[in-house]
Amino acid sequence: MEGLMNKLRHLDAYPKVNEDFYSRTLSGGFITLVSSVVMLLLFFSEIRLYLHPVVETKLVVDSSRGETLRINFDVTFPAIACSILSLDAIDISGEQHLDVKHDIVKERLGVNGNVIEVRPDGVGSRKMEKPLQRQGGRLEHNETYCGSCYGAESIDGECCNSCEEVRDAYRKKGWAMSNLDLIEQCKREGFFQKIKDEEGEGCNIYGSLEVKKVAGNFHFAPGKSFDQSNIHVHDLQAFRKNRFNLSHTINRLAFGDHFPGVVNPLDGVQWMQKQPIGMYQYFIKVVPTMYKDENGHTIQSNQFSVTEHFKGAERGLLDNLAGVFFIYDLSPIKVTFAEGHVSFLHFLTNVCAIVGGVFAVSGIIDSCIYHGQKAMEKKMEIGKFN
C-alpha cells in the first residue's frame, strides 16, 4: 500500500515548494493585483454573455412560394402639392396598381412644413364603388344627376358624377385629358381653383403597399397615369405645367415588419432637385429575412441594399420621365437569425481558459521583470552597469 502511495505521489504535476524558498517582490504584488482585476472583468463579461442570448446567422435558399411583400413608406415632397402627386405600383408579372389610394394617407404641407390638412384614401372626391346607371329612363337610388363620362364610358349608361371619376374613366381607356375646362364636373368642383390654392404647397405621403413577391417597382409621380400603346405614361396636361420640383426626403422605407437589429439604409435620405426635371431611381435588392427569438417567436421580414441613379429628361420626353422610382428585385438567398444561449459547458470552458490564461501570462511577465532586476543588480555589483 505504501508503494502504491509513493507511485501516486510521483504523478503529482503540482510540486509544492517550501515557503522558506519563496521570494516575494513589489512588482510581483502589483502584477498579482492587476491580473486579479483582469480576471474579474473577463469573468463578469463571460457571465454577461452567458446570461444574454446570442444571435446565430445562417444563409439558406429561399423556397417560399405565393407570398406577398409588404412595403411601408413615408416620403415628404416639400415642393409638390398632394393634388398633383400619385402613386403607382407595377411588377414583372404585368399586374398594375395605378393611382393607389388604399392604406395611403396624404398630408398637405405649408411652406414651413406645417401640416395643413390630412387626407386619407387619396385626394379629392372619392370614387363611388357602384357608379349610377340609367335604367328604364330613370336613375337608381332616385338620384337626379348622372354626369357624362365624355365618351369614356366602359358600359352603356355609366355615370361620372365627379371630376375624379371622369379622369379615372379616361385613364382606363388610356386617354389623356387635354382640356378640363370643358368637363362640367371639374368646373363645378373648382378643380383648377383647387390646384391654384395648393400652389407652393408640399405633400407628405405615407402608408403601405401589398404586392406580389416578384420584382417590380413603385413610384411617385405628378399626374394621372395610364397605358398608351403598352407604355406607362403620366398625364400632366390637366395641370398646365411640365416642370415639377421632385425634391424629397425619405423618412422611412421598409420591406416587411421591424425586427431587432434591422437597418433600413434609405431612412432619412434627402435629395434636392438640381436639374429641371428627370427620373430619380433607387435600385433596391431585397433579401428575405427570418428572425427567431429565444421564445420561439418568428418574424418574417426583409432587409435591403440600394444604389441611386438620376436620369435626366430628354427634350420631348419630359412628361414621361418625371418621378421618383423605387425599383426592387428579390434575392434567392434567405438570411435567418436565431437567438439562443451559450451552453453551460462552453461557459465553464471559457472561465477556465480565462483563469489559466491570465495566470500564465502574468507569471511570464513577473518572471521577466524579476530576472531583469536580478541581472541589473549583478551588473551594478561588479560595476559594469552604465
Q: Which of 96, 101, 299 is nearest to 211 (CA)?
A: 96
**Do 285 and 211 have their domain in common?**
yes
Q: Residue 385: pLDDT above 60?
A: no
3-state secondary structure the chain: CHHHHHHHHHCCCCCCCCHHHCCCCHHHHHHHHHHHHHHHHHHHHHHHHHHCCEEEEEEEECCCCCCEEEEEEEEEECCCCCCCEEEEEEECCCCEECCCCCCEEEEEECCCCCEEEEEECCCCCCCCCCCCEEECCEEHHHCCCCCCCCCCCCCCCECCCCHHHHHHHHHHHCCCCCCHHHCHHHHHHCHHHHHHHCCCCEEEEEEEEEEECCCEEEEEEECEEEEECCEEEEECHHHCCCCCCCCEEEEEEEEECCCCCCCCCCCCEEECCCCCCEEEEEEEEEEEEEEECCCCCEEEEEEEEEEEEEEECCCCCHHHHCEEEEEEEECCEEEEEEEECCCHHHHHHHHHHHHHHHHHHHHHHHHHHHHHHHHHHHHHHCCCCC
**Do 273 and 372 have their domain in common?**
no
Q: pLDDT (tens digit, 9 = 90+) per residue, 216-246?
A: 999 998 877 776 666 777 766 666 666 788 8
Query: Quick one: pLDDT at residue 264?
Result: 94
Residue range of the domain that includes 34: 17-53+342-381
**Do 371 and 296 have their domain in common?**
no
**Do 120 and 263 have their domain in common?**
yes
Lowest mean pLDDT segment, chosen from 71-75, 304-308, 319-323:
319-323
In a domain, 104, yes or no: yes
Contact 291, 299 (CB under 8 A): yes
**Do 244 and 110 have their domain in common?**
yes
**Do 65 and 48 have their domain in common?**
no
Query: Quick one: pLDDT at residue 19?
Result: 61
Residue 187 or 238, more confident = 187
In a domain, 220, yes or no: yes
Name the range with the highest mean pLDDT among 155-169, 213-227, 247-261: 247-261
**Do 308 and 377 have their domain in common?**
no
In a domain, 176, yes or no: no
Q: What is the mean pLDDT of residues 65-91?
A: 90
Contact 192, 202 (CB under 8 A): no
**Do 110 and 46 have their domain in common?**
no
In a domain, 37, yes or no: yes
**Do 328 and 301 have their domain in common?**
yes
Total count of domains within the chain = 2
**Do 368 and 236 have their domain in common?**
no
In a domain, 121, yes or no: yes
Q: Does the predicted model carry a pTM greater than 0.95? A: no
Query: Quick one: pLDDT at residue 122?
Result: 43
**Do 372 and 285 have their domain in common?**
no
In a domain, 248, yes or no: yes
In a domain, 192, yes or no: no
Average pLDDT, the chain: 81
Query: Quick one: pLDDT at residue 128?
Result: 36
